[in-house]
Chains A and B, each alone.
Chain A
């Protein structure tokens, strides 16, 4: 199932100095998130400041890689032409166990059976030259 992604020539993440630890960890098969030392909340996507309290004391911590499904969609006509090769595929928004939400690619077979709140786990998938956190 995962092979079809390896040969895709699609845009990878445009990594910044702030987000680099996240992507480095993904490449190592680890799921880390920023945690605020001041208000104790978790933060995603990676930022210089906590959006809850504006603290600049964010530290990287191991996260569970567990999530719940918030919404999903089967893409028939891809927004970026390079993804068209593997349509239809499924994307979704998930709520990470730690609280923040993220966009992801879903590794599921039957989209018509998906429900809000379905439990999911992170899967590391090589897509083109980049390792990405998909959920399934």
Chain B
């Protein structure tokens, strides 16, 4: 595996909106604008320094020409712009693409942004979803909850993993969220028993094992080393990246008990020249409890099927031996659609800057970030490093 070049760019700004269960009187473009404004302010740069733009698909407001629409709205004229469309892996996928665009000499300063509204009684639905629409929906198998229930069931049937083991993941997410006043479940911890007593939505997934959809947004600024003049915050760098896409529909998964993260994570670690035990923060995508289980196994932290035994012997708070999703994960923080994946990056940057008030990991130098999209089928992993 090729070791990644010493990065010629760094993450210098982050912006994040507080998740709201429902948004009112807001637009997605407006929330994108506010996320970008906060990130540029955090970076201590001028608006006109932004000359690169990465955005996500927008099911609701702007299905096409997203970069042009966002550029126009914000008064930007980017020299590199694109849509990254990798579901929950979109945020992580944006960061190495921003770095690559800077390395290619296309631009100096890229803003990566994802945001969305969440209106009561008006959930966002993508319009055209063939072949899933043709071959899954007619059988009553619509939606992510069903796909992930099928994946969790296979893990349980194959390995004998238990509901208690999965519930522990939701418990830790809620527990860590108690250190994050921005989290949607701040003030609402949950015990393993609470998780198991929450209603079965799609068996074997309980309500508390499923992210809460919220409105929100997040933006990250990546800039070239030579453009870093303002040293407001210690820069954070992408030291390694790995990515793989295998399928779209759960029925077409090449392996129901694993994910392309099994390629992406070792690839990212290898590029950075690390082993997973060198990592100080696991910032693992957690749309469902079972995704964390599979990710831990795909990272090689424990053998396949053994996440439950492994978790029993470790602790996952900021002061634990394996800090995991110290912002509460999306299970504790809330999932603002594609921006949910970005929350794992924002938290890692905070930790690596030594700026995670009230939940700072001691001597945090390196974080592993994962993104997962569709049906355990779109995977991106990053290793981020701070200056600490």
Which residues in A have some Cβ–Cβ distance to B below 8 Å?
10-16, 19, 45, 70-80, 83, 88-89, 91-93, 101-105, 111, 115-116, 127, 130, 132, 134
Contact = CB atoms under 8 A, between A and B. Distances in A.
Contacts of A72: 150, 153
A111 B256 CA distance: 19
Given A10-B140, A14-B134, A70-B154, 4 more contacts: A16-B130, A79-B142, A80-B137, A101-B253
B154 A77 contact: no
B251 A103 contact: yes
A73 B251 contact: no
A93 B142 contact: no
Contact of A134 (B139, B199, B203): B139
A103 B136 CA distance: 6
Chain B: interface residue count, which band? 35 or more
A3 B299 CA distance: 47
A74 B203 contact: yes
B252 interface: yes
A13 to B, nearest CB: 5
B251 A93 contact: yes
A75 B202 contact: yes
A76 B201 contact: yes
Given A103-B139, A116-B154, A76 B134 contact: no
Contacts of B200: 74, 76
Contacts, number: 108
- Those 8 A-B pairs whose CB atoms lie nearest each other, nearest first: A79-B143, A79-B142, A71-B154, A74-B203, A103-B251, A73-B149, A105-B139, A80-B142
B138 A91 contact: no
A127 B249 CA distance: 22
Contacts of B6: none
Contacts of A91: 139-141, 146, 150
A117 B137 CA distance: 24
Contacts of A104: 139
- Chain B facing A: main interface SS: helix
B135 interface: yes
A103 B141 contact: yes
A71 B157 contact: yes
B252 A101 contact: yes
30 contacts: A10-B140, A14-B130, A14-B133, A14-B134, A15-B134, A19-B134, A45-B131, A71-B151, A71-B154, A71-B256, A73-B146, A73-B149, A73-B204, A74-B202, A75-B141, A75-B202, A76-B199, A76-B201, A79-B137, A79-B142, A83-B142, A93-B150, A101-B251, A101-B252, A103-B250, A104-B139, A105-B139, A111-B203, A115-B157, A116-B157
Interface in B282-321: none
A102 B135 contact: yes
B158 interface: yes
Interface-centre pick from A11, A12, A75, A116 (highest chain B CB count, 10 A):
A75
Nearest to A76: B200
Nearest to A72: B153
Given A71-B153, A102-B251, A77 B138 contact: no
Given A73-B150, A93-B150, A93-B256, A13 B201 contact: no
B149 to A, nearest CB: 4
A81 B175 CA distance: 33
Contacts of A12: 138
B222 to A, nearest CB: 36
B202 A71 contact: no
A46 B201 CA distance: 31
Contacts of B146: 73, 75, 79, 91
Contacts of A13: 134-135, 138
A73 B202 contact: yes
Contact of B138 (A10, A74, A101): A10
B267 interface: no
A105 B252 CA distance: 16
B321 to A, nearest CB: 33
Given A91-B140, A92-B150, A102-B251, A79 B145 contact: yes
A76 B150 contact: no
Contacts of B202: 73-77
Interface-centre pick from B130, B131, B140, B145 (highest chain A CB count, 10 A):
B140
Contacts of A16: 130, 134
B159 to A, nearest CB: 11
Interface string B90-118: 00000000000000000000000000000
A1 to B, nearest CB: 15
